[in-house]
């Protein structure tokens, strides 16, 4: 039975503003429309801080925009608290942010600490509240809390993570072909080349028709425009815990092909569509992949493969997005919502 969502104030507000689908947003919608509804419409769910995603962000920054590192990240001196303790302190810090007194120390949140400990069933075998709180008010946790207060919203890193990310970036920079591909050492005389890193692109007009109330957006890692050769290069940097030879599996499992197709269209609409000689231009897409052994390989997407991905975006993915968006149905995945699947 379909949930009635149409009357909610949050839904009305969502549809009052044009929504731009990112690759990650589309993935969430296709996997679990109700999750999409809770996250993007009700705004009830926050993205968890995944260590692999943080590593990816750090590598992207160090490689493509190193000058922005200090604005985005901050390195924790000393040792990071264990998982359970960090969870408690992180939650207390969220409560602290709502306080009118930003100087309050960790021990002032005793009631909140006890509530959180009970919620996750931690230290409940201890006989007194005082003993439970004492388990949290240890030097590492206190230092971490004070560090959070001074971090000004930056992403926290430990030295181990930073060291790993630097090793990955060094591996990339040691490969001259990758350096050339990403134009990491672009020379002043190369005036025919334009280089864009971590560029945000949003398109108002629609990819395949002229009558859609939603748009698409993305952050393209590395775009090289060769105005002499009339070629636009899109290079997307990926890290993987699998061997390089298995990256094709990740392309399917994580729908990286969908990301590539969306980025292709974003680049076309932003840089090529309105050129007088647009038909003479070509777009090359490459995944620059770094594995856990710091091996690097550029997987260039062939023209035939990209055509297939673009066709799948048009014929398969876009109708699913349209259904959920136009029907305001965020209950079940598309295949279940419109079909009668039996085992």
Q: What is the 3-state secondary structure (H, E, C) of 105-146?
A: CHHHHHHHHHHHHHHCCCCCCCCCHHHHHHHHCCHHHHHHHH
Q: What is the mean pLDDT of the chain?
A: 91
Q: What is the pLDDT of residue 4?
A: 46
Q: Say whether pTM exceeds 0.75.
A: yes
Q: Where are the domains positioned within the chain?
A: 9-44+187-338, 77-157
**Distances from the Cα of 232 to the Cαs of 199, 267, 278, 288, in angstroms?**
14, 8, 11, 16
Q: What is the pLDDT of residue 209?
A: 56
The closest of 334, 230, 233, 245 to 293, measured between CA atoms, is: 245
3.40.50.300, 3.40.50.11740, 3.90.320.10, 3.40.50.12780: which CATH number matches 9-44+187-338? Answer: 3.90.320.10
Q: What is the pLDDT of residue 248?
A: 96
The closest of 60, 22, 72 to 236, measured between CA atoms, is: 60
Q: Is a pLDDT exceeding 80 seen at residue 7?
A: no
Cα(first)–Cα(last) distance of the chain, in Å?
Answer: 19
> pLDDT (tens digit, 9 = 90+) per residue, 192-231?
999 999 999 998 755 655 556 788 999 999 999 999 999 9
Q: What is the pLDDT of residue 256?
A: 98
> pLDDT (tens digit, 9 = 90+) per residue, 125-160?
999 999 999 999 999 999 999 999 988 889 989 899
Q: What is the pLDDT of residue 5?
A: 56
For residue 156, which phi and psi values (nearest 5 degrees)? Answer: -85, 140
């Amino acid at each position: 039975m379909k949930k009635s969502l149409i009357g909610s104030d949050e839904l009305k507000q969502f549809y009052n503003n044009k929504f731009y689908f990112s690759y990650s947003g589309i993935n969430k919608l296709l996997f679990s429309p109700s999750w999409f509804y809770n996250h993007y419409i009700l705004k009830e769910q926050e993205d968890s801080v995944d260590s692999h995603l943080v590593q990816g962000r750090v590598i992207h920054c160090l490689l493509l925009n190193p000058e922005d590192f200090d604005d985005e990240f901050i390195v924790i001196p000393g040792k990071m608290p264990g998982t359970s303790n960090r969870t408690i302190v992180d939650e207390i810090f969220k409560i602290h942010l709502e306080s009118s007194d930003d100087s309050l120390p960790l021990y002032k949140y005793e009631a909140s600490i006890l509530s959180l400990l009970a919620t996750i069933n931690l230290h409940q075998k201890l006989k007194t509240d005082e003993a439970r709180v004492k388990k949290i008010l240890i030097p590492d946790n206190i230092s971490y809390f004070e560090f959070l207060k001074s971090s000004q919203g930056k992403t926290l890193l430990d030295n181990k993570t930073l060291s790993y990310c630097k090793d990955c970036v060094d591996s990339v920079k040691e490969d001259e072909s990758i350096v050339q591909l990403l134009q990491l050492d672009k020379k002043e005389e190369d005036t025919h080349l334009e280089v864009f890193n971590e560029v945000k692109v949003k398109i108002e007009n629609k990819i395949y028709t002229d009558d859609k109330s939603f748009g698409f957006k993305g952050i393209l890692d590395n775009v090289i425009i060769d105005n002499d050769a009339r070629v636009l290069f899109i290079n997307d940097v990926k890290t993987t815990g699998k061997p390089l030879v298995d990256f094709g599996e990740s392309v399917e499992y994580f729908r990286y092909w969908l990301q590539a197709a969306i980025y292709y269209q974003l680049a076309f609409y932003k840089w090529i569509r309105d050129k007088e000689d647009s038909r003479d231009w070509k777009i090359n897409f490459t995944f620059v992949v770094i594995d856990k052994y710091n091996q690097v390989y550029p997987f260039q997407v062939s023209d035939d493969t990209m055509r297939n991905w673009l066709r799948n975006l048009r014929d398969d993915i876009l109708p699913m997005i349209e259904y959920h968006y136009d029907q305001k149905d965020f209950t079940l995945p598309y295949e279940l919502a419109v079909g009668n699947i039996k085992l």
